[in-house]
């Protein structure tokens, strides 16, 4: 494109126009409006041409849905609904008089996220298996608004996370300065506190806005027994029947997401005081920890009622100080027991040899936590043990302590080894978070994604999956990047370049097991707000079940770092066949209003 000089600067003319259909879209429209169909699909050599007089009927659109979009069970009513929607939105015809689409109408339909999404939008996986069979959308230090050292604690990031479908909320609970109340904050840092009750009330209000499936509250507990009793009271009063109470002292198998719909579960370690007490009275029937979990429930409410009665008749005045202290300790202990018995998912911390922590108890399930560094070491030396452990138990991974800026790590290491709760700083940003967001676009965004069978069961040789092994290609994903549009609506005219339209290119690739990971890129198109790349890429996949399609758009800058133009990650297992619209998101994962790509997905 020509340029001209003004003073010391070279400037180029802006050009901005409505997005035109790429060649494959024109070809598909021509083929089906001329009574075609079959014979190689879109992209095959054809002599069909499009004229402005051609119109696509509902019957022809149905054939396109079946043959190109892979929607083999589509019915004529769905095609009619699409046409009706286009008539209303594009032409403002409430009761449309013409039952056909022009080429521009057809292109508008293909570029519509609501009508032509790239992934499945409904819950479609089996939700009746135990919780250990699912990846669960998990937050870390969910109350922090920013960095891990000095940001404010608030219920706002908790609400945001729940609205996005996060199902595991982590709260660090500490005594208030007066020792009479409970605060949530990142202990031994400069983070400001928030009252626990405020967090609990916000969780109750927003728990099931995005998903009906259970919310787990993981508590990092730094409380005394009397404050644990207060937590028990708060939790019961706040959640009522929403709170899940385990039916027995020891959980032998987790319930399913379906069975736990609209329920809130607590997950934490047993109160330290009870471990110590049991340790001093070990009967030889089991470890101190096992004995602690078997403690009989004493009702906090009954204890409090008894205390109220004694207060009313003045009998406490006859007690000496020693008796008073003893009676005072009993409500605290019973309260801590009540607190413990509200725990729906028993947690323990890794101590000693990892092989001991990863031993599978056929009579009991629970949750183990490892930091990202411990996971990396374990994946190298105990990969099979990790997978066997996660077939029945929950494994939670959390960021290392040096991630003070709320950065994140590669979640796929955990997922490849069956870890259900890969805990992330949701207030962060960056490519690791994009992968997390991409994974949980699966299964209708409900926050629970069924793990592949090879991570749930052993194979015929009683061996478990080895993600680092020499694996054969199962299928090849063919991706065609047609075009992009919407930047001119969501960005100022000078956002990318002060003197010319942007020079966009697309990076597209796979995140998954190591052998599948790769990134490729299109050519850079200069000076165009609606670039048409029309380029195709092939991705051989050994483990498509764990693969995420990474898509990023950048604007080339010869003198500085390339500008960011949008991103998304899509679970390969959820991709819809055919020509699809792909909405893009900003660095934090917020969806742009208008920016999207038109792409085609095929498995060959």
Please list the active-site residues. Answer: 140, 186
- Among candidate residues 1, 33, 174, the one with its CA nearest the CA of residue 105: 33
Pairing type for strands 100-101 and 9-12 reads unpaired
Pairing type for strands 421-422 and 448-450 reads unpaired
- 494 token code pair: 């000078």
What is the rounded distance in angstroms from the CA atom of residue 216 to the CA atom of residue 239? Answer: 12
Non-local (6+) Cβ contacts of 345 within 8 A are: 131, 216, 251, 254, 265, 266, 267, 366, 367, 394
Please name the residue that has the structure tokens 């409900």: 446
In the DSSP assignment, the letter for residue 262 is T
- The 3-state DSSP class for residue 183 equals strand
What is the rounded distance in angstroms from the CA atom of residue 295 to the CA atom of residue 343? Answer: 13
Non-local (6+) Cβ contacts of 36 within 8 A are: 30, 48
Counts of helices then strands in the chain (DSSP H, E): 17, 23
Non-local (6+) Cβ contacts of 472 within 8 A are: 542
In order of 84, 146, 334, 418, 430, the CA distances from 151 in angstroms are 50, 5, 36, 32, 19
Q: Tell me how far apart the terminal alpha carbons of the chain are, to the nearest angstrom.
A: 39
Q: How many residues does the chain have?
A: 604
- Among candidate residues 435, 406, 403, 426, the one with its CA nearest the CA of residue 519: 435
Query: CB neighbours (10 Å) of residue 129?
Result: 18
**Per-residue exposure over 520-554, b if at least 16 CB sit within 10 Å of its own CB, e if not:** ebbebbebbbbbbbebebebbbbbbbbbbbbbbbb
Alpha helices (H) in 316-447, listed in sequence order = 321-341, 354-357, 372-381, 383-392, 412-416, 431-439
What is the rounded distance in angstroms from the CA atom of residue 167 to the CA atom of residue 172? Answer: 17
In order of 303, 310, 312, 322, 394, the CA distances from 319 in angstroms are 18, 11, 15, 8, 48
- 153 token code pair: 């604690």
In the DSSP assignment, the letter for residue 192 is B
Please name the residue that has the structure tokens 């020792």: 179
What is the rounded distance in angstroms from the CA atom of residue 367 to the CA atom of residue 254? Answer: 11
- Among candidate residues 376, 345, 341, 374, the one with its CA nearest the CA of residue 357: 374
Question: Which long-range contacts link 565-569 to residues 24+ away (Cβ below 8 Å)?
Answer: 565/487, 565/496, 565/502, 565/504, 565/595, 566/592, 566/595, 567/434, 568/434, 568/438, 569/434, 569/435, 569/437, 569/438, 569/439, 569/441, 569/511
């Amino acid at each position: 494109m020509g340029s001209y000089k003004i003073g010391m600067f070279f400037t180029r003319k802006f050009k901005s126009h409505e997005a035109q259909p790429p060649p494959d879209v024109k070809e598909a429209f021509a083929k089906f409006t001329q009574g075609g169909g079959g014979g190689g699909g879109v992209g095959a050599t054809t002599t069909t041409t499009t004229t402005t007089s051609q119109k696509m009927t509902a019957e022809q659109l149905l054939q396109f849905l079946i043959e190109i979009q892979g929607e083999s069970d589509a019915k004529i009513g769905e095609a009619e609904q699409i046409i009706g929607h286009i008539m209303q939105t594009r032409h403002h015809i409430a009761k449309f008089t013409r039952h056909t689409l022009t080429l521009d109408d057809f292109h508008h339909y293909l570029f519509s996220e609501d009508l032509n999404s790239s992934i499945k939008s409904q819950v479609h996986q089996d939700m009746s298996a135990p919780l250990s069979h699912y990846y669960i959308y998990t937050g870390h230090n969910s109350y922090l608004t920013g960095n891990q050292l000095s940001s404010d604690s608030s219920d706002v990031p908790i609400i945001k996370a729940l609205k996005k479908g996060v199902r595991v909320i982590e709260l660090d609970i500490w005594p208030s300065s007066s020792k009479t109340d409970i605060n949530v904050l990142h202990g031994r840092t400069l983070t400001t506190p928030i009252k626990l009750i405020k967090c609990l009330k916000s969780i109750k209000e927003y728990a099931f806005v995005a998903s009906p499936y259970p919310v787990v509250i993981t508590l990092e507990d730094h409380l005394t027994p009397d404050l644990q009793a207060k937590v028990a009271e708060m939790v019961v009063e706040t959640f009522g029947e929403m709170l899940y109470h385990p039916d027995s002292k020891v959980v032998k198998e987790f319930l399913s997401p379906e069975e736990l719909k609209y329920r809130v579960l607590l997950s934490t370690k047993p109160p330290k005081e009870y471990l110590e007490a049991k340790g001093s009275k070990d009967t030889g029937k089991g470890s101190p920890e096992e004995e602690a979990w078997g403690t009989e429930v004493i009702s906090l409410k009954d204890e409090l009622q008894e205390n109220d009665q004694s207060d009313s008749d003045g009998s406490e005045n006859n007690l000496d100080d020693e008796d008073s202290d003893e009676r005072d300790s009993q409500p605290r202990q019973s309260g801590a027991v009540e607190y413990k018995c509200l725990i729906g998912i028993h947690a323990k911390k890794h101590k000693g040899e990892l092989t001991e922590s990863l031993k599978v108890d056929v009579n009991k399930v629970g949750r183990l936590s490892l930091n990202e560094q411990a996971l990396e070491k374990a994946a190298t030396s105990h990969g099979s043990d990790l997978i066997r452990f996660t077939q029945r138990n929950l494994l939670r991974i959390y960021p290392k302590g040096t991630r003070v800026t709320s950065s994140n790590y590669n979640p796929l290491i955990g997922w490849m080894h069956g870890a259900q709760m890969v805990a992330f700083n949701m207030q962060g940003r960056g490519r690791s978070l994009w992968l997390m967001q991409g994974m949980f676009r699966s299964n209708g965004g409900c926050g629970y994604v069924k793990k592949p069978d090879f991570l749930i069961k052993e194979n015929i040789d009683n061996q478990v999956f080895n993600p680092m092994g020499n694996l054969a290609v199962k299928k090849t994903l063919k991706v065609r990047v047609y075009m992009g549009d919407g930047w001119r609506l969501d960005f100022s005219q000078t956002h990318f370049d002060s003197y010319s339209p942007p020079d966009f290119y697309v990076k597209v690739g796979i995140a998954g097991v190591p052998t599948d990971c790769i990134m490729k890129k299109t050519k850079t198109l200069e000076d165009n707000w609606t670039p048409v790349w029309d380029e195709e890429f092939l991705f051989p996949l050994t483990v498509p079940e764990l693969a995420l399609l990474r898509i990023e758009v950048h604007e080339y800058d010869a003198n500085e770092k390339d500008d960011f133009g949008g991103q998304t990650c899509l679970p390969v297992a959820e991709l819809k066949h055919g020509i699809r619209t792909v909405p893009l998101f900003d660095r934090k994962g917020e969806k742009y209003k208008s920016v999207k790509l038109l792409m085609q997905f095929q498995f060959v």
